[in-house]
Amino acid sequence: MQTYPGVQALVRRTHEERVLQVLREQGALSRNQIARAVGLSRTTLSEITGSLLQRGAIVVTDTDAAHREGSGRPAERLALDPASGQFMGVDFGHRRVHVIVADASHEIVASGSDRYDDHVDWPTRLDVAFRLVERLSDEYGVHYGALQGVGIGIPGPYSGKPGVRDYPSHRAAADGFHEASVDEAFCERFGAPVVVDNNTRLAALAEAIFGAKAIEHLLYVRLSDGVGGGLVVGGRLVSGSAGLAGELGHVTVRADGDPCRCGKNGCLETIASVPAILAACRAAGLPVESLDDLAAAVARSHPVADRILRDASAAVGRVLAAVAMALNPAEIVIGGEITRLAPVIVQQAAATVAYELFPGAASPGVRAAHLADDDGALGALAAVFHSSPLLAGYPETQIRGVVDGRHQ
């Protein structure tokens, strides 16, 4: 009968996660205690703990001689290594890379960023990122032998196939290095599964899963230098047939509007991006050059700023409503620093969405993003948490049920 390496990797990783979880919850335990707690045979458990010890995810703390009843050789007790990075989130921006590392408890144990010049090539960016990763190791004393996964956000549409890669990659050597090879570079460097996606989409995922309760259906838009977005449908991040899902900035909202860089006229981005909003204010006689200027105008309730922000936000609301009519999300989230400076944006967009949506239907909540723009690495980390153990979006009970079922 054919074997399925992916399934075996899944089972191995799921066992590892269960062992780590028990140690996280109960502290140091002997192998026998772990085996009983996770319901694995001694033989299987020894393989798992051997691999985890070798990779530095767990350490031997002491023996159970002190707590032991009866006779026999004292057993080693195992515990999580608090300095072991288990998850890594990497956010490549246009001008800097940000890396965060979380331990087995999902606590962040290291964080840092480094700049590079705008438009440098990908090998250079990777070089900066890898040096940053080493520096974090020195600074925070973390090590990476036990990495369970790496999440990577990149700007712009991701031209590789989004999703989880397990190590080793089965793809042929890339013909010419480009951003689609980022996953392979990290796979090879850390020997761990890698998830890569567009960083605006990863922000959408983070908004969906970092709340008190995970949101199964969420629509996200970010107002920034451009306008982008992302969708979570049925608990899964949507990348679309060609990795282009979430391009809300280029929905036409005024057919006779200003020319857009995409070649059409009146795209949402020509009305609701930060540069478009600042330009509209200046055209109306309000001299704002920066977000700070705009924030000052908003703070003193300048009517021109208010009108232009309301117009832009109503346009955002109409686009969100059209997509929400199709998707019926539970929550709509608006991100971008400007939404923090000008609360009128979320207020007006929420009012427009409430009007536009089917009367009688429960309208989705419209709220400002929890995560700031420079929290992209958190979004990447969310992708790893979400994908682990390699089954993004599968119902939790299914994963657990299937895996438990194998050992009944």
- Distance between CA atoms of 110 and 103, rounded to whole angstroms? 9
Q: In the structure encoding, which two tokens stand for residue 155, read together? A: 């700007």
Sole binder of a second copy in the list 319, 350, 381, 384 (CB under 8 A): 319
Q: Segment near a second copy (CB under 8 A), from 195-203, 287-295, 302-310, 360-368?
A: 360-368
Sole binder of a second copy in the list 323, 341, 346, 380 (CB under 8 A): 323
DSSP H or E run through 370: none
Q: Does 380 bind a second copy (CB under 8 A)?
A: no
Handedness of CA 397, 400, 402, 406 (dihedral sign): negative
Q: What angle do CA 371, 195, 12 make, to 5 degrees?
A: 120
- Distance between CA atoms of 91 and 100, rounded to whole angstroms? 9
- Distance between CA atoms of 116 and 121, rounded to whole angstroms? 10
Q: Lay out the sheet containing 29-30: strands in order across.
A: 29-30, 76-80, 58-63
Residue with tokens 């900066």: 128
Q: Segment near a second copy (CB under 8 A), from 80-88, 93-101, 126-134, 317-325?
A: 317-325
In SS3 terms, 228-269 reads as: EEEEEECCEECCCCCCCCCCHHHCECCCCCCECCCCCECECH
End-to-end CA separation in angstroms for the chain: 22
In whole angstroms, the minimum distance from the beta carbon of 358 to a second copy comes to 5
In whole angstroms, the minimum distance from the beta carbon of 300 to a second copy comes to 31
In whole angstroms, the minimum distance from the beta carbon of 245 to a second copy comes to 4
C-beta closer to a second copy: residue 74 or 401: 401
Q: Does 154 bind a second copy (CB under 8 A)?
A: no
Q: In the structure encoding, which two tokens stand for residue 305, read together? A: 């700023």
Q: Does 383 bind a second copy (CB under 8 A)?
A: no
Interface map 77-116 toward a second copy (x if CB under 8 A): ----------------------------------------
Sole binder of a second copy in the list 81, 91, 103, 247 (CB under 8 A): 247
Q: Segment near a second copy (CB under 8 A), from 73-81, 95-103, 115-123, 349-357?
A: 349-357
Q: Segment near a second copy (CB under 8 A), from 17-25, 41-49, 67-75, 260-268?
A: 260-268
- Distance between CA atoms of 192 and 194, rounded to whole angstroms? 6
C-beta closer to a second copy: residue 6 or 303: 6
Count the site residues for a second copy by CB under 8 A: 65
Q: Does 355 bind a second copy (CB under 8 A)?
A: yes
Q: Does 228 bind a second copy (CB under 8 A)?
A: no
Sole binder of a second copy in the list 107, 117, 303, 358 (CB under 8 A): 358
Dihedral Cα 188, 195, 112, 17, nearest 10 deg = -90
Burial of 45 (0-12, 13-18, 19+ CB in 10 A): buried
Q: Tell me how crowded residue 143 is: count the other CB atoms within 10 A of its CB.
A: 16
CA-derived radius of gyration, the chain: 24
- Distance between CA atoms of 39 and 25, rounded to whole angstroms? 16
In whole angstroms, the minimum distance from the beta carbon of 204 to a second copy comes to 11
Q: Does 149 bind a second copy (CB under 8 A)?
A: no
Q: Segment near a second copy (CB under 8 A), from 47-55, 90-98, 174-182, 352-360?
A: 352-360
What 3-state DSSP class applies to 215? coil
Q: Does 311 bind a second copy (CB under 8 A)?
A: no
Q: Does 43 bind a second copy (CB under 8 A)?
A: no
- Distance between CA atoms of 7 and 405, rounded to whole angstroms? 14
Q: Does 322 bind a second copy (CB under 8 A)?
A: yes
The answer to whether 226 and 273 have CB atoms below 8 angstroms apart is yes
Sole binder of a second copy in the list 217, 307, 340, 367 (CB under 8 A): 217
Sole binder of a second copy in the list 59, 295, 327, 354 (CB under 8 A): 327
Binding-site ranges for a second copy (CB under 8 A) = 1-4, 6-8, 11, 39, 216-217, 219, 229, 231, 233-234, 236, 238-248, 250-252, 262-264, 318-319, 321-323, 325-330, 355-359, 361-362, 364, 391, 394, 397-398, 400-402, 404-408
